[in-house]
Copies of this chain bind each other. A is one copy, B any other.
Amino acid sequence: MSESPVTYADVERAAEIISPLVHRTPIMTCETLNQLAGRELFFKGEHLQKVGAFKFRGASHAVARLSEQQQANGVCTHSSGNHAQALALAAKQQGMVAYIVMPENAPCVKVDSVRGYGAEITFCEPTQTAREQAAREIVERTGATFIHPYDNPDVIAGQGTAALELLEDVPGLDAIICPVGGGGLASGTCLAAHGINPDIQVYCAEPAGADDTFRSYQSGERQPVGVPNTIADGLLTSVGELTWPILRTHLADVLTVTDEQIVEAMQLLWTRMKQVVEPSGAVPLAALLHHKLPGEVQKIGVILSGGNVDLNKLPW
């Protein structure tokens, strides 16, 4: 097996680099949810991170690690989700330009948000090919550095800082659970957790309608997602080339949940914890409520990955 391109030391260094740039998000607990899950849960509130999602960690780190020349040319990505906002704000905060490719059918609220962070938006047809093509053209024209949403070592190390803080604030966790889409957060979490203590069980939770990581984990080979179908719009992508080997090595298990279970967990987070968490962020709690974890797994860290929802399009 080849050496991982990202290590625990990278996560530690990322934490030092981004600590002046990101929020140190709070740990939250809720007796009712503990009772329902039959475990002691410690929620890491990344929905309270800047731009409302953990993505700001990886984007801030990737931007900070650029050379002076690269910073002068700016950064580029294609995304209609939290990574677009994260990269736009990270670039603005560190004084450089961000070129964001968005599909022309992207929700107005997301376009406005990215524009509000001062990014230069290029619209394209809503296909993966058109997005990649448009980003390539921008990179060629401007010399901007392309920042992948998850298959980027600096992004992975940056996302790992959430688990690092969680384990600093709550020592002695038996397990950590986070959602998995492309695997940036999940792989960073693995590196952080096992750098601190190899005995911590790291679980990923995934929508049944986008269960590529579950199938990859079962078969031992990376499986594409096919046509994803889930309300967890942050988890539609397939696990990455860079993130998959890390997950394969470190994960204790991958747990899948239905959209119905995701909505139930989301509503509990809203009504009981009073926290606005997006569907993707509710996937781990859904898994905890519907899967039997081993008895020795009692103290569990749960990463609430984001809180960006359209209040006019709630899934109930």
Contact = CB atoms under 8 A, between A and B. Distances in A.
Interface in A284-301: none
A270 B316 contact: no
Interface in A133-153: none
Which of A270, A309, A312: most chain B CB closer than 10 A?
A270
A271 interface: yes
Nearest to A271: B311
User: Which of A48, A276, A277 has the most chain B CB atoms closer than 10 A to its own CB?
Assistant: A276
B311 A270 contact: yes
Interface of chain A, main secondary structure: loop
Interface string A263-290: 0000100110011110000000000000
Contact of A274 (B48, B267, B271, B314): B48
A52 interface: yes
A126 B76 CA distance: 61
Contacts of A270: 276, 311
A78 interface: no
Contacts of A26: 26
Interface string A239-278: 0000000000000000000000000000100110011110
A55 interface: no
Contacts of A267: 311
B316 A274 contact: no
A103 B314 CA distance: 30
A83 interface: no
A52 B274 contact: yes
A307 interface: yes
A179 to B, nearest CB: 17
B274 A47 contact: yes
Contacts of A308: 271
Interface string A61-87: 000000000000000000000000000
A277 B311 CA distance: 14
Q: Which of A26, A275, A312 has most B Cβ within 10 Å?
A: A275
Contacts of A274: 47-48, 52, 275-277, 307
Contacts of A312: 316
A163 B52 CA distance: 28
A276 B277 CA distance: 10
A32 B154 CA distance: 28
Contacts of A316: 311-312
Nearest to A269: B276
9 contacts: A26-B26, A48-B274, A52-B274, A270-B311, A271-B308, A274-B275, A275-B276, A311-B316, A312-B316
Counting from the closest, the 6 A-B pairs by CB-CB distance are A274-B307, A274-B276, A47-B274, A270-B276, A267-B311, A48-B274
